[in-house]
Structures are given as C-alpha cells and as structure tokens.
Amino acid sequence: MSSNRDDFTGATIEILKKRAAFICSNPNCRAMTISPSEEDENKFIYIGKAAHITAASEGGPRYDSDLTSEERSSINNGIFLCSSCADMIDKNNGIDFETSLINDWKTQHEEWIRDNLNKKITAEKEVQQVINVTSNNQQGGITAGVVNVSSQPRKFTQEAQSQLLQLLNGKTGQTVTVTCTMGDGEAFSYATQIKTFLESKNFPVNGVNQAVYSQPVMGQNFNPDKLEIVIGTKQ
C-alpha cells in the first residue's frame, strides 16, 4: 500500500541527529537523547526523533501546501527533538507551536552546538537568574509566572535569547522598553545586551533607560502589558 507521507530518508535522519549532537533542539529542554544500556554493552537507549517542521502529509500540524514533496521531506523541513518535545509540538494540531518558532529553535540550537564544539562540560552548578512575569490585563499568551533565563555572571546567552523571543512571540514590530536601575553598572551592561539583541531581531527598543525605584529591584522583570523589561540588581 502506498503512503501519502513525505517522510525523511534514513540518511536525512542521521544528519539531523548529528547536527543536533543528539540533543533536543527545544531550548527549554536540551535533553540528551541517547545513552548506553546498563544491561547490554552492545545496546543503547535512544529517545530522539527527527520531526517535521511542517507536516509530512495534508491535515497534519503546520501543513504547508506550497511545499513540493521533495521540500517536505528535505532536511530543511526537519528538526531533531526528544520524543516528548516531538509529540508536544504536534498537540492540538500544532496551534501552540508555529513554524517560525520551530525554525528559530533549530537555528539557535545549531548555533549553540557550534559554539560549544570541543568545550568541556563543567560539573559546577551555576546560580540561575529568572525573569518574573507579571500581568494585570493580558488576554491570552503570557500569564504571571517565572521564566528561567540565564546564569551568573549575567550574560545574555543563546538560551536566554530564545526564551525572551518566546515571551515576545507575535509582537514583532512593537516597541519594547528596556530600563535598568540607576547607577548599577552591571545592570546597565546586561540591559544593553538585551537592547542590542532585540534590535537585531527587528524590535524597536526604547532604552536603555535608567530609573530610581522606591523599593529595591532584583533580577529581571518583564511586563507583557507594557512590553517593558526592567533589569534590577543581580540576585
């Protein structure tokens, strides 16, 4: 029986795995997908998937009728994920995970892999910073909560960049205000990194502004109602 799916070839799947270093391309996951079996030295445990960015067949998540069969089964339409994330992006027919977002994951992950080539894995646990997300009038999208962004000393890493882009998903072209605590050089430097990054992604930025607050401001705070990022003293 013939299949109407435009599946990847075995060779394409192997390339996707290796370009991702067998690590899930979701920047909020980055799970290792392969490990040696403890019971059999000739076997391994593998939980990775080569997932389609736009569906392999009509009616699937993010299906793009403008693509040819060859384009649909090409490596450009593939992303390497752990099995959990591969299933997650297809839930509700993919409405929560747009094609542009998944393409950003792939691009950023491959950049991260290149940047870390031949670097040692350190066992030292780093202290995380967080963005505190607060909203009074937000309808849909981001609600109040905490989003992990970076580790000390504060550097605007690729992981932090990806998480900020997810917070701003769907708001391209809208002006973002970046403000930091007056007189705090470290906060100003970190805020400047954020401003430069946002401008590179075509976000108009109002900042970096400096302000004096009646109460101490710690860490990073994002207000989706005002599209404002406030950088306080390093926690």
Q: Over the stretch 182-213, which tens digit does the pLDDT of each residue have?
A: 888 888 888 999 999 898 888 999 978 888 88
pLDDT tier for residue 109 given thresholds of 50, 70 and 90: very high
Q: Is the pLDDT of residue 124 over 50?
A: no
C-alpha span between 14 and 73 (Å, rounded)? 14
Of 80, 128, 88, give the one whose Cα is nearest residue 105: 80
Query: pLDDT tens, 51-107?
Result: 999 999 999 999 999 999 999 999 999 999 999 999 999 999 999 999 999 999 999
- Cα–Cα distance between 153 and 217 in angstroms, integer? 17
Residues 131-154, mean pLDDT to the nearest whole number: 57
121 confidence band (pLDDT: 50, 70, 90): low
Residue bearing the bigger pLDDT, 121 or 39: 39
Q: Give yes or no for a contact between 192 and 156, defined as CB atoms under 8 angstroms apart.
A: no
pTM of the model: 0.54
Lookup result for tokens 């973002």: 176
Of 14-28, 129-143, 178-192, which has the strongest mean pLDDT? 14-28
Q: Which residue has the tokens 């070839």?
A: 9
Residue 223 has a pLDDT of 87
**Sorting pLDDT into bands at 50, 70 and 90, what band is 168?**
confident
pLDDT at 166: 85
Report the pLDDT value the prediction gives residue 157, as an integer from 0 to 100.
85
Phi, psi at 154, each rounded to 5°: -65, 115
β-strand partners of 146: 132
| Residue tagged 């839930």 (tokens) | 91
Return d(Cα 89, Cα 96) in angstroms, integer: 7
